[in-house]
Structure 1
Amino acid sequence: MAFVGKAKKAPQHFETPEEMYLRGALPRTSQAVPSLWLHQGDVIRAYAEKHQTTPDLALELPTGTGKTLPGLLIGEWVRRKGEGPVLYATPTKQLAKQVAAAAKREGVPVALLIGSHTSWNLADETAVESSEAIGVTTYSAMFNSNPHVPVPRLVIFDDAHAGEQFVGHEYGVDIRRSADEDAYLAVLAALRPFLSGLLLQRLESAPDPGAHHQVRLILPAADPDALAALDAALAKLAKPYKFQLSMVRAGLASCLVYLSYGGIQIRPMIPPTFENKVFTQAGQRVYLSATLGAGGELERAFGRREVTRMPLPGKTPPRSGRRLFVFPDLAAGGDGTALTKRLVGLTDKALVLSQDTVARARATAESLAGKDVPVLGRDELEQKGLEEFAKAKTGILGLANRYDGMDLPDHACRIVVLDGKPDAVGLQEKFLSERAEANAALSERIRTRIVQGAGRSTRGPNDYAVVIVRGADITKYFSRQDNISALEPEVQAEVQFGWANSRGANPDVVVENVATFLAHDKEWRENGEEMVSEFREDAFKIEPPAAEPLGKAAPLEVDAWNLAYSGDWIGASGKIREAVVHVGPEATRGYRGLLLYLAGVWLHLGAKDETERARARELVREAGLAANRGTWLREMLPLSAGGEVEDSPMDVVAVNEIVARLRGRMRPGAITAELAEMQAALAQNEAARYERGLTILGKYLGASASKPKGQARCDSAWEWGTALWVTVEAKSEEREDGLLPAKDIRQANTQLDQLAHDRGADHAPAGSVVVLLSERLAVDPEHASGANPYVYLTPPEVVFGIAGDVTAVWMHLLAAATGRMSETEQRKHVRAVLGDNGCLPSQVVDRLTQTRIRPGD
């Protein structure tokens, strides 16, 4: 019979999602989880009791403690009320499929809406629209110029802590030179008014020592003609750029341009999600997050002024398995790669997470794979899904920037490799980290990525996995007590236990310990587990000092960017200035400088009279004072006469010294030979030659450079008059644990005072620094607090890169020295060439001082 009868009865309603679950209203399968965990029940009960109508609500569910089931239960409970569609959004298609599979097991009706909307099943679309099923989709299906999902009564964002990566990046144009050099060069040409001829030439040509990888910031609105040219250049680009442009073209004037040799990123700092009707008209937005944080990360990532946070009840978060952290670069012998390969070989099954490119992530996985062990990457994951890797007996899966959304529980994978610190996902992050010295604004994001990545293979309270921490930058990250203290106590204990059992350990012992952990038998439970518990007793979470001020500033920043995107420059500047009031502590100085600069530029763009223009120039000058050294500010176009940031005194000294040499009796051949000697000396390790190379380098940076006499003195001192001094000390002695010893720190603490005594001064000029050059990965956390705040640890390759840039500078200056420039013209020329190559003293100091030894500064 083909006739249809009466429609089925409407679903039964329940007081809470928990009641719906416990009373068996869902047709759960035999593969469903046995029951709710206690904290899951607490979360969904609190939602029903207090937050059914809260517009923006963040629920805290730490990694490995089960976010999906509470999210589905809340979604199903709301769907049954028949008040409108319910959407469940995930960062990736692969995760969306995982959620749909989980929903099927738990008896929750869902429809997958992923990929191109033209391929969606009409029945599925209708089911979501009519609230017969929850629509499981991706962030990108919602955050695009023409979303085809319905405006929901409720939208749930899974892994919302990754919002910046999957929402912020949707609002902008991202051009990678390696993928599309023609597009890169076309947009670079439009940016010509913001670049000197020499810098443009270097960016257009093959990379050379002068084209170091620093990111430059450009505000295209500062030059209306250039903004029009940029818009025209972007409009001519093919897919996918035309779709990216459509997301921000209406507010292109408010976008920032981040420019490096390797790529161009054009985007607002905070995405204009207020333009997206599906997002803004939703009855409620619920963010499932592994961490709530206090620094305003969710507000900035999703462009929402206020997100109400609902933390887990109780002071102790639920346990999400046991992780054994291993730091192979700290083990005896110094061959961290070989040890990592041995550890991976214990199971021949590992997930390798990197922030580098897809190709590099796969290459790293290949380097760690044993003979005949299959290697997989992004392409295989997208084609075959995670399930195939999870079921395989062996395999190494290498992925870039995928710290969320992959569940590999139990025996699916017992080893995770964290390959490098995830602090530069995109050029905006790289600029904030390396140029604006605004790491405080990224700390919550970085910490969450690390914890999320470490938890990919511990998906329940009894699960366990080895976490191999590989690379100098991430090892240094874990050497800082302030970074450790910001973690949950359980993770703190695991990290500290792993550090203690890696530092200076015999590689054979490390392999044996890891094998014991993987066996997870009586020996581990009675020995290792007890030792981790001892570390746990002394662990307390301490929020970073920057978190509270950044959290207070976040709503004002969201307002400001929305106003700027709409062209209300005066209003935007005012809101940023309100935010600056909160961003005042030392920990947020770099970020404060950036906000002040934006406030100045925006005020200038909207100024109606000279009074407002004068105030705009004053804000830019305040930005220069607020930012630590603010070298990036001196690269910006001046607003108008008197609006530029003044040259640093040390830069003035250097330029004058170099001009004097060029206008004096110089011998180009001798200079060329000395520069060649410098590069050769800095490429080898013999102490006396290396010291000589450092002193030559200081000389060609326009400093008075010398090797101080006496015992325990630095290898070279660079003095730019009374403006600033730098002492440089190269350390090459070997230590089994790969850490800088306490005696080196004590010696470094005295170097500026000794130099001041030599010069008959009471103290060194303000801002002077001590630089320790060492291949050492990090400083022993026990000794780091004893370092003076002006002592930094820097790898020797940074100095070698500066030497290459200095050589390029002088080759150019020598070629132009025979011209008939006036002294004033030559001074401008020298400053421009130094600046374009990152060789002004202020820039050099920035490059040498990326890693302060003393924690908390």
Structure 2
Amino acid sequence: MVDFKKKRVAGPAGKPVEPTEIYERLDRASDKGPLRAAQERVLQDWHLNFRRNNDVILKLHTGQGKTLVGLLMLQSKINESGGRAIYLCPNNFLARQTLIQAKQFGITCTDADDDGNLPSSFLDGRAILVVTVQKLFNGLTKFNLGARSTEVDYIVIDDAHACIDSIRSACQITLPRKHEAYQHIVNLFEDDLRKQGVGSYEEIRQANDRGPSPILPVPYWAWLDREEEVTRILARANQTKELKFVWPILRDKIKLCQCVVSSEQIIIIPHIPPLEMFGSYANAKHRIFMSATVTDDAFLIKGLGLDRNVVTAPLRDPKETWSGERMLLIPSIISTDLDEGYVMANFGKPDAKRRYNTVVLTPSFNSSKGWEASGAVVASTNTIDQLVDALRNGIIQTTLTVANRYDGIDLPDEACRILILDGKPYGETLWERYVEECRPESQISAARIARTIEQGLGRAVRGEKDYCVVLITGSDLVRSIRSREIQDHLSDQTKAQVRLGLEISEEAQADVQNAGTSHSALMALIRQCLERNEDWKEFYKETMDSLSPQALISGLLDIFTAERLAEVDFSLGRYQQAIARIQAILDKYPDMASTERGWYLQEAARYEYLESHAGAQAKQAGAHRLNRLLLKPESIPILKLSAIAQKRSISIVKWVQNFQSNENLRLAVDDITNSLKFGVRAEQFERAWHELGAALGFASERPDKEWKEGPDNLWALKAGNYLLVECKNEVELTRAHINKDESGQLNNACAWFDREYVGCESTNVLIIPTVKLGPGAGFNKDVRIMRKRDLNKFIHSVRTFYDDIYKFDRNDLTEEKVHELLTQHKLIMEDFVEEFTSSVAI
């Protein structure tokens, strides 16, 4: 064999460390040319300024080659010092794509075998290991846990935000109702759960067909008191499929978890993921976190344990500009008849002549039913990969609807030219849903929604030259995306796209007013983007070129840091230090919404409980006074809802004048009225009914949520007179009878009212599709039924009432005019029973 070392003129060649030099020496495929300018700038900056840091966040636009950049950084570290390197992906598809790219570029990579065993080429430092994040983060990981963890030197986490969700799932115990431990835990906490919601507990216990289950939290004081009993219950079942992959992570950390219960499942999840258990991750010398340029990285502080200084100083291309083209339209701004129903009817039906693939993102499978009825195909877990591949391979005449999946799906170029976001995204897990219900004014929830919206928008524009039309529909999403609370957390690029979309939608509105049709105005706009109108392209470019790239600095950095450190203090028994960190949040943000102050006071109470039961209960009582959606303390008096002292018409005038414009008022009313439909989530429906009370000039509350007993909704109509409402809007519209449990719930609500509101009268209403009583059902009081047609009639009156209100300048609106309109639209409450309810049928 020829010894080429002897024939070389230069001396022995060392392995290059500078990543661009590594790239030049790679045996790449012939179609793999030089690095892009952005890749080269980022790699040089990392090499000169970041490679010695423990943690680095890398932000590059989608389609600019982050995968190659990450692989080159890992190879550079291996060449410099040797060691083991891992490239973690959020799913199998991206892991396969990464391995394919690595081979094309000539970078030596490997994957685990079918049993997850770690290959020798990785352990010897000869190859980069490419696996999913789930391979590392699970209780039976081949990397081992704690002190036995396999040593790993360098890690890249691709799509760090998606990996946060995967890690959270890996550290969460999910017990379905059929699991042997489910009933044991429900029985253990039965009394505690009842105190947090009698009606909700009964629905959970009965597990009937009335739609999605309510959620009840196990109070922290009960959870901490019975830590050992819970541990014993779970330990007995630790080899079941639901527990065996997570039990090794949480078996000694039950105290640090929270528990929520529904009729379908129990969730047990730590307040922050115990990342220290995964030594391969926690002790790595250099970690690189890939993140989109539009994403708020504050979530990485709690989700991945990063320091705030890492988040505020990411590695990014200094010459970064905008990337990709989106025409973002809100059809209902062009005309109110271009509502959600119109969008479904016109973009959901199959079309053999379709020229552009259309994809819809909805927050839930229930939200997808309207699209399915319109002719769209709804993807399931088993079919989504096949359906997405079909879109990539050609034009499909059927619209694809994807439920509650805003990331992990890449639809570049012709795969999706029309993307529709329908409905406001909400929490995916039971715990997230519970937190959203408790924290309606939370900036954290707003930031999470903004992040999900950004992720959704990113599905269809995957490169610098990619383009698509985005339609925003669903009154709750329209209201959210136009609200300051959400816009504060959107990237500059997305905010600019929203502003541009509003501007051109309003111009199209003018076209409609000048004798055009709303449909033709919308379709003309869509064609200008998709048929590549040069004036549109230049207008978009000019608008986006005017942006000055800004680092996304979130106001949540300090809060997330304090929350994470407080949890660490609590886990180490430093209870007073944990309380002090929460108090520091309250002191730093004195203008924080009262509901949020209540939340943090409840957190301080949890930290104090193991040291002082009495002190914790005092704090909990204070938290509940600020936010009645939180845990009800062990002993607290119910405060009676009083009617507003002033005239009802004056209250309506004040409610209207709270809005900055008639457009904001219209958005609020549309959101309320569109949420009051059969089939809408119970939480959304009951919250909307609560808001409707204020919009109609009444004092309003939700006793079952706020006091953990009583009816779903209560309006104080006038002194001593109330409207009591139980909502069963999620039952099937084909239901023939009111069952015994439903009539029993209303009877219990009436009994609660008689006990707490002595000497007062109530009009009792059950919102349900049928008036007929089933076997064993019956009412102890006079009850009226609000069926679908009654509800629709009532909501129609509310809408037409406010349509007339919009005609006035808000500041010129008088109580006399409001009273006249209330009478005209039959919204005087003396007419309510006759106009909008039906009698019970025996």
Same fold (TM > 0.5): yes
Distance 1:293 1:391, change over 3 A: closer
The answer for unaligned runs of 5 or more in structure 2 is 144-149, 513-517, 677-689, 703-710, 714-723, 728-742, 763-809, 811-842
User: Are positions 1:174 and 2:159 aligned together?
Assistant: no
> Which residue of 1 is the match for residue 300 of structure 2?
298
Deviation of 1:145 (Å) = 1.2
Read off the aligned partner of 2:202 and give its amino acid letter: Q
Greater CA deviation, 248-257 or 492-501?
A: 492-501
2:628 aligns to what? 631
Corresponding residue for residue 127 of structure 1: 121
Match status 1:162 vs 2:166: no
**2:38 touches 2:317 (CA, 8 Å); kept in 1?**
no
Letter in structure 1 aligned against 2:172: G
CA contact (8 A) 1:58 1:292 kept: no
Task: Pick closer, same or farther for the CA change 1:307–1:86 going to 2, 3 Å.
Answer: farther
Distance 1:620 1:290, change over 3 A: same
Cα distance, 1:107–1:329 mapped onto 2, change above 3 Å: farther
9-18 vs 49-58, which deviates more? Answer: 9-18
Partner of 1:562: 568
| Mapped partners of 2:12, 2:137: distance in 1 | 32
Alignment match, 2:55: 56
Considering Cα pairs closer than 8 Å and 6+ residues apart, tell me whether 1 or 2 has the greater RCO: 1
Residue 393 of structure 2 corresponds to 391
Q: Decide whether the 8 Å contact of 1:556 with 1:575 is kept in 2.
A: no
Aligned length: 677
Q: In the alignment, is the contact (CA less than 8 A) between 2:17 and 2:80 conserved in 1?
A: no
What is the identity, as a one-letter code, of the residue corresponding to 1:603? E
- For residues 156-207 of structure 1, what are the alpha-carbon distances to aligned partners after superposition, in whole Å with 9 as ceiling and x for unaligned? 1111123431222321223466xx5876545332321312273432321245
- Matched with 1:498 is 501
Partners of 1:453 and 1:294 in 2: CA distance: 14
1:811 is aligned to 747
Q: Is the 8 A contact 1:771 1:793 kept in 2?
A: no
CA distance in 1, matches of 2:666, 2:424: 29
Aligned to 1:415: 418
**Separation in 2 of the partners of 1:188 and 1:476?**
38
1:831-850 deviation line (CA, Å, top 9, x unaligned): xxxxxxxxxxxxxxxxxxxx
| Alignment partners' CA distance in 1, 2:212 and 2:267 | 17
Distance change (3 Å), C-alpha of 1:331 and 1:584: same
1:297 offset after TM fit, Å?
1.3
**What is the match of residue 202 of structure 2?**
201
**CA distance in structure 1 between the aligned counterparts of 2:595 and 2:243, rounded to whole angstroms:** 32
Mapped contact 1:79–1:85 kept (Cα < 8 A): yes
Judge conservation of contact 1:99–1:136 (CA < 8 Å) in 2: yes
What amino acid sits opposite 1:302 in the alignment?
L
Work out the CA distance in 2 between the residues paired with 1:221 and 1:268: 16
Alignment-mate amino acid for residue 25 of structure 2: A
Letter in 1 for 2:28: R
Kept in 2, the 8 Å contact 1:58–1:288? The answer is: yes
Task: Quote the Cα distance in structure 1 between the aligned partners of 2:593 and 2:305.
Answer: 21
Query: Is 1:145 matched with 2:151?
Result: no
State the partner residue of 1:530: 539
1-structure distance, mates of 2:578, 2:315: 37
Which residue, 315, 324, 328 being the options, matches 2:327?
324
Partner of 1:511: 523
Give the distance between the partners of 2:670 and 2:420, measured in 1 at CA.
29
- Classify 1:25/1:540 alpha carbon distance in 2 versus 1 (closer, same or farther; 3 Å): closer
Q: What's the TM-score, normalizing by structure 2?
A: 0.70
Structure 1 distance, partners of 2:409, 2:57, is: 21
From 464, 470, 473, the equivalent of 1:470 is 473
Distance in 1, Cα, partners of 2:531 & 2:321: 24
Distance, in Å, in 2 between the alignment partners of 1:217 and 1:622 is 19
| Number of the residue aligned with 1:695 | none
For the structure 1 residues 300 and 575, does the alpha-carbon distance in structure 2 shift closer, same or farther, using more than 3 Å as the test? farther
Aligned 8 A contact 1:213 1:261 in 2: yes
SS at match of 1:437: coil
Question: Could you say which residue in structure 1 is the equivalent of 2:730?
Answer: none
What's the secondary structure of 1:652's corresponding residue?
coil
| Aligned CA distance change for structure 1 residues 212 and 398 (closer, same or farther; 3 Å) | closer
Flag the 1:242–1:331 CA change in 2: closer, same or farther, 3 A.
farther
Q: What aligned pairs does 1:259-658 form with structure 2 within 5 A after superposition? A: 259-261=261-263, 263-291=265-293, 296-305=298-307, 308-309=310-311, 310-311=313-314, 317-332=320-335, 333-340=337-344, 342-343=346-347, 346-347=354-355, 349-357=357-365, 360=366, 366-367=372-373, 369=375, 376-381=379-384, 387-394=389-396, 396-437=399-440, 439-502=442-505, 504=509, 506-520=518-532, 524-527=533-536, 529-530=538-539, 533-534=542-543, 537=546, 547-548=554-555, 550-565=556-571, 568=573, 570=575, 573-574=578-579, 576-577=581-582, 579-580=584-585, 584-587=589-592, 590-605=595-610, 607=611, 615-621=615-621, 623-624=623-624, 629-636=626-633, 638=634, 646-647=636-637, 651-654=638-641
The corresponding residue for 1:689 is: none
CA spacing shift, 1:60–1:500, aligned 2, 3 Å: same
Aligned sequence identity (%): 21
Structure 1 residue ranges without an equivalent (≥5): 639-643, 655-702, 718-726, 732-739, 749-769, 779-789, 831-853
- Alpha-carbon distance, 1:230 to partner: 3.1
Matched to 2:218, the amino acid is I
| Change in 2 beyond 3 A, CA 1:771/1:488 | closer
Does residue 24 of structure 2 align to residue 103 of structure 1? no
Contact (CA 8 Å) 1:375, 1:398: kept in 2 or not? yes
In structure 1, what is the equivalent of residue 707 of structure 2? Answer: none
**Counterpart Cα distance in 1 of 2:550 and 2:674:** 28
Residue type of the alignment partner of 2:139:
S
When residues 541 and 429 of structure 1 are mapped into structure 2, their CA distance, relative to the original with a 3 A threshold, is farther
Instruction: Name the CA shift for 1:813/1:152 in 2 (closer, same or farther; >3 Å).
Output: closer
Whether contact under 8 Å (1:597, 1:620) holds in the other structure is: yes
Cα distance change, pair 817–57 in 1 and its aligned pair in 2 (3 A):
closer
Amino acid at match of 1:342: N
Q: Which range moved further: 272-281 or 259-268?
A: 259-268
Contact kept? 1:294, 1:551, Cα under 8 Å:
no
Distance 2:436 2:256 in 1: 21
Q: Give the aligned residue type for 1:146.
A: L
The 3 A distance-change label for structure 1 pair 35 and 619 is farther
Residues 573/493 of structure 1: CA separation in 2 closer, same or farther (3 Å cut): closer
Question: How many angstroms apart in 2 are the aligned matches of 1:615 and 1:440?
Answer: 28
Q: Contact conserved, 1:258 with 1:428, CA < 8 A, in 2? A: yes
Between the aligned partners of 1:66 and 1:143, the Cα distance in structure 2 is 26
Contact 2:302–2:560 (CA<8 Å) still a contact in 1?
yes
333-342 vs 472-481, which deviates more?
A: 333-342
Q: 1:191 aligns with which of 189, 192, 205?
A: 189
**TM-score when scaled to structure 1?**
0.68
Contact map agreement 2:566 2:582 (CA 8 A) in 1: no
- The one-character-per-residue Cα deviations of 1:222-268 (angstroms, maximum 9, x if unpaired) are 45564344334444553224433443221111211233455432212
SS in 2 for 1:287: strand
Deviates more, 1:402-411 or 1:69-78: 402-411
Are 1:240 and 2:242 matched, yes or no? yes
Residue 62 of structure 1: CA displacement? 3.6
User: Counterparts of 1:156 and 1:456 in 2: how far apart (Å)?
Assistant: 22
Taking a change above 3 Å as real, the CA distance of residues 531 and 385 of structure 1, as seen in their structure-2 partners, is: closer
Distance apart, 1:314 and its partner CA: 6.9
RMSD between superposed Cα atoms in Å: 4.5
Are the aligned partners of 1:85 and 1:128 in contact in 2 as well (CA < 8 Å)? yes
| Deviation (angstroms), 1:728 | 8.1
Cα separation, partners in 2 of 1:35 and 1:464, compared to 1, 3 Å: farther
